[in-house]
Amino acid sequence: MSLSPHSGRTDRSDSCDAVVIGAGIIGAATTLELARRGWRVLCVDKAPAAGAGSTLNSCAIVRFSYSTRPGVLLAWEGLHYWLNWRDYIGVADELGLIEYRQCGQVLLLSDDTDHPQRVRALWQELGIPFQDWTPEDLARHLPIFDQGCHGPPKLPSDDEFWKEPDQQLSGAIHSPEAGYVNDPQLSVHNLQRAAEASGARFRFKAQVVSILRSSQRVTGVTLDDGTTITAPVVVNVAGPHSYVINKMAGVYDSMKIKTRALRHEVHHVPAPEGFDYEAQGFAATDDDAGVYYRPEVGNHILIGSGDPTCDEQQWVDPDDYDDRISDSQWEAQVLRAGRRIPGLGIPHQKKGVVDLYDVSDDWVPIYDRTDLDGFYVAIGTSGNQYKNGPVAGHVMAELITAVEGGLDHDNDPLVVQGRYTSMPIEVGFFSRNREAAATSMTVHG
């Protein structure tokens, strides 16, 4: 091999056992898991560093509030990677290791959404800890929250937006194990260093421009500098660019479930004076207001969109979109949050991030093989799969190893045993050719 783990340079041709396209949280985890199984892996990304794509701006919330049983189960297994992060990474990182901040999550209960009760039933079935909170409990833990029902979510331009509520929240469901990772990009750097310690290589500022194939088998990739990487396995973990890579490989049309790039905004505002949300707050799902909240550094509150139907979805070209915070979305999200948190600080200068989600037709990720032998996909993940990055890497490595070993996954779907929980992960649920799953059709999954 001509490339050292840290050089970022190759000759004009190279070879390995697998090329992973995308060095985000799932791409880096897949690289690590394959390398630990003895594969010679090269991970390539057009960004300048690991985790510098859509992972960089992830809210990094670790929660289990999915609307499907496999989704909840995968996230519950995923939690245990974060709880055991130091042992899982197993090597030193000169930048340090991430922290998992277990602040807990609350799902607010109102009559205009059944998602929390759907989640509650799944948690009860799977034995995932939760607590039912009364309105009094909610007031004790989050006294800054107004408990009026303002939903269903509306635009501030709607006269009904400002109407005083005539109903109250019926309480909340509390998930004490939930939390968030303090630095999503650092988590990927941790994975990179662990993968390199197992022999994997990373190449940055390297854009894939073609997928090489021979008959019905992938044979490698070509990079924008003319380098040819030959490999019998290629894994598409390209985030919002995943559909572009699938079209290069000629597998886009044959997949029943497709993915697209969705523009999204997250905003940062100061917490109400006198309440330390960074220390005392929770990750909170507020479908009644159409937003979610998370503690942020500097006693700020991070506000994201729950994708209510009143908001226009902006499907974009991942190489050509407006990355500036828009006045309309800022106003919609922050003012909705202000109805719930009356003392919310609303700065004159808009603060936040704009990035892309890689969204599948039903908001469930695709972890699968494709009709091109040796070409695999871990896509449709943005917005709700950061927390599952490490377990998704494990699932993909198990899938690739099994299929390359002769498993007919399309007709005999793989079941992977959770490394920590021993729960069965039914990989067939995440098939490219599934019937669209009954989900929230939002970032909740």
Q: What is the pLDDT of residues 42-63, one digit of tens each?
A: 999 999 999 999 999 999 999 9
Residue 7's pLDDT is: 37
Which pLDDT does position 3 carry in this prediction?
Answer: 33
Helices (runs of H) and strands (runs of E) counted in the chain:
10, 24
pLDDT, position 11: 57
pLDDT value for 10: 42
pLDDT in the model for residue 12: 81
Residue range 211-232, pLDDT digits in tens: 999 989 999 999 999 999 999 9
Q: Which residues does residue 387 pair with via DSSP β-bridges, in sequence order?
A: none
Q: What is the pLDDT of residue 346?
A: 86
**pLDDT < 70 positions in the chain:** 1-11
Q: Which domains does the chain have, with CATH numbers?
A: 13-60+183-258+362-430 (3.50.50.60), 100-181+264-357 (3.30.9.10)
> DSSP H helical segments within 37-167, as ranges?
69-83, 85-89, 115-126, 135-141
| CB neighbour class for 354 (10 Å; exposed up to 12, middle 13-18, buried from 19) | middle
**307 phi and psi, to 5 degrees?**
60, 50
| Per-residue model confidence (pLDDT) at position 9 | 44
Question: What is the helix, strand, coil percentage profile of the chain, to 5?
Answer: 30, 25, 45
